[in-house]
């Protein structure tokens, strides 16, 4: 299958590009390298030494003989070029990772709020509009997020895979309907993903675009079998207060001897998936597109759920790291339960890496190997959701 990977230079996109190439797909990455420029803006680097994109694809070819194309293109700003790329390459499918994906970065300043909305919504809409203009039948696999559902809306009922069955009272009695699960975003970033869902629903209905929306949990881990082939293929590892995600941050903090930064009580429960399972899920999704005219196919791309303080305890037990309970810079529930339906990928053959097996390996691996690259001043999260919220001081100098 010919596959375009939008955002293929990023944390999820790069290992996906390698894996899809490895299993025989003809892969082209489209990326404007904005994530690398944001590192420059934030004055921080991936903990792992990521190589320039042209070197990355050349090293892949050197080891496997397989070519991965690279096109530098901003999908939110270069609409005509996007149409031209579709018409020239005529892909069977597009995997869409190309969004600003950090909730704290999206809440950082008025400029980053506006950038996140402009980039994510216009990028997604440009893609859908360009597919219609091209006249091609291209399946779209999009990376959504568990955060579209929010934390607590469904009460004690498990969060379904996209659609909720509701009963509506009418004068003639109750009727049953399936609706898109109500959106309840917790950041400007998460809000863009809820808006993406409406764009997909409209283009599926109006133009018969085949869309799979994958509501992914927090991705942890770094390496996949393909990125591990050569150090120059290594995946990025974000640890800073804006882009680092909770479990990878705890793994890195333990490795460098920094206390684990639990926000608030740590009673927040979130969904998780290992990066090796992310790439496998994309492969499965590509093999199982909806038929033309079908509604958007939604999967919950999640393998387990954990409370933040329980994760900190697990990492602390394995490594001896201290735990610091810090003021929460975010506006979020101090405590929530999370029961997520995750049957569809399991039914299609996903065999997940669970925290119990994977965590020991991760705490001894990348974080320790590249500990000397850490900038301690970038670890504690400084972006607040609302003016006046308390920010924790740096814990080490």
Exactly one of 79, 115, 151, 189 is catalytic; name it.
189
Restricting to residues 85-104, name those near ligand NAD by CB under 6 A.
97-99, 101
Q: Rule CB under 6 A: is residue 150 a binding residue for ligand NAD?
A: no
Bridge partners, residue 219, by sequence: 273
Nearest distance in Å: CB 369, ligand USQ: 21
Q: CA-CA distances (angstroms) from residue 176 to 158, 163, 164, 340?
A: 18, 13, 10, 22
Closest CA to 75 of 21, 19, 10, 159: 10
Q: Select the binding partner of residue 344 from ligand NAD, ligand USQ, none (C-beta < 5 to 8 A, by kind).
A: none
- Whole-number Å distance between alpha carbons of 91 and 335: 44
82 touches 73 (CB < 8 A): yes
235 touches 275 (CB < 8 A): yes
Q: Is 145 a catalytic residue?
A: yes
Which of the stretches 131-139, 214-222, 327-335, 366-374 binds ligand NAD when contact is defined by CB under 6 A? 214-222
Judged on CB neighbours under 10 Å (0-12, 13-18, 19+), 69 is middle
Binding residues (CB under 6 A) for ligand USQ: these are 101-103, 145-147, 217-218, 245-246, 249, 261-263, 266, 268, 270-271, 308, 328, 330, 332, 381
Closest CA to 74 of 112, 27, 115: 115
**What token pair was written down for 270?**
């979130």
Q: Which is nearer to ligand NAD, 273 or 394 (CB)?
A: 273
Residue number closest to ligand NAD, CB atom: 10
Bridge partners, residue 71, by sequence: 30
CB atoms within 10 A of CB 219: 22
Closest CA to 7 of 36, 29, 38, 40: 29
Exactly one of 28, 112, 116, 145 is catalytic; name it.
145
In the set 20, 76, 212, 314, which binds ligand NAD (CB under 6 A)? 76
Q: Select the binding partner of residue 263 from ligand USQ, ligand NAD, none (C-beta < 5 to 8 A, by kind).
A: ligand USQ
In the set 4, 94, 143, 315, which binds ligand NAD (CB under 6 A)? 143
Q: Rule CB under 6 A: is residue 35 a binding residue for ligand NAD?
A: yes
Exactly one of 79, 115, 116, 193 is catalytic; name it.
193
What is the β-pairing status of strands 211-216 and 139-145? Answer: parallel
Nearest distance in Å: CB 156, ligand NAD: 24
Binding mask 239-258 for ligand NAD (x = CB under 6 A): ------x-------------
Q: Select the binding partner of residue 11 from ligand NAD, ligand USQ, none (C-beta < 5 to 8 A, by kind).
A: ligand NAD
Site size toward ligand NAD, by CB under 6 A: 26
Bridge partners, residue 30, by sequence: 6, 71
Q: What values do phi and psi take at 41, rounded to 5?
A: -60, -40
Q: Rule CB under 6 A: is residue 263 a binding residue for ligand NAD?
A: no
- Whole-number Å distance between alpha carbons of 397 and 102: 25
Nearest distance in Å: CB 68, ligand NAD: 14
Residues that bind ligand NAD (CB under 6 A): 7, 9-13, 31-35, 74-76, 97-99, 101, 119, 123, 143, 145, 216, 218-219, 245
Residues with a catalytic annotation lie at 145, 189, 193
């Amino acid at each position: 299958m010919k596959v375009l990977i939008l955002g293929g230079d990023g944390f999820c996109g790069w290992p996906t590009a390698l894996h899809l190439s490895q299993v025989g797909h003809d892969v082209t990455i489209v990326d404007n390298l904005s994530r690398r420029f944001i590192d420059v803006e934030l004055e921080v680097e991936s903990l792992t030494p990521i190589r320039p994109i042209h070197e990355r694809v050349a090293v892949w070819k050197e080891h496997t003989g397989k070519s991965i194309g690279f096109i530098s293109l901003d999908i939110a700003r270069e609409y005509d070029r996007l149409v031209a790329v579709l018409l020239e390459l005529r892909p069977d499918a597009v995997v869409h990772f190309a969004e600003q994906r950090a909730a704290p970065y999206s809440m950082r300043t008025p400029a980053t709020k506006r950038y996140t909305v402009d980039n994510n919504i216009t990028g997604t809409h440009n893609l859908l509009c360009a597919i219609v203009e091209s006249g091609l039948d291209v399946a779209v696999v999009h990376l959504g997020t568990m955060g579209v559902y929010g934390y607590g809306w469904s009460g004690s009922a498990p969060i379904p895979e996209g659609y909720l069955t509701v009963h509506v009272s009418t004068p003639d009695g109750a009727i049953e309907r399936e609706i898109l699960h109500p959106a309840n975003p917790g950041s400007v970033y998460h809000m863009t993903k809820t808006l993406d869902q409406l764009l997909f629903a409209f283009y599926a209905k109006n133009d018969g675009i085949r869309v799979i929306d994958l509501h992914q949990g927090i991705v942890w881990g770094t390496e996949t079998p393909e990125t591990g082939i050569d150090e120059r293929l290594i995946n990025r590892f974000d640890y800073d207060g804006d882009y680092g995600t909770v479990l990878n941050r705890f793994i890195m903090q333990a490795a460098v001897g920094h206390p684990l930064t639990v926000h608030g009580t740590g009673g927040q429960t979130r969904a998780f998936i290992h990066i090796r399972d992310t790439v496998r899920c994309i492969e499965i999704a590509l093999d199982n597109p909806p038929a033309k005219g079908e509604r958007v196919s939604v999967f919950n791309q999640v393998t387990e759920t954990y409370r933040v303080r329980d994760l900190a305890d697990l990492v602390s037990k394995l490594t001896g790291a201290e735990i610091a309970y810090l003021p929460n810079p975010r506006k979020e529930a101090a405590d929530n339960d999370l029961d997520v339906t995750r049957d569809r990928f399991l039914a299609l053959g996903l065999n997940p890496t669970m925290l119990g097996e994977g965590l020991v390996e991760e705490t001894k691996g990348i974080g320790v190997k590249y500990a000397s690259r850490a900038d301690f001043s970038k670890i504690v999260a400084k972006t607040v959701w609302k003016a006046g919220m308390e920010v924790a001081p740096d814990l080490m100098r």
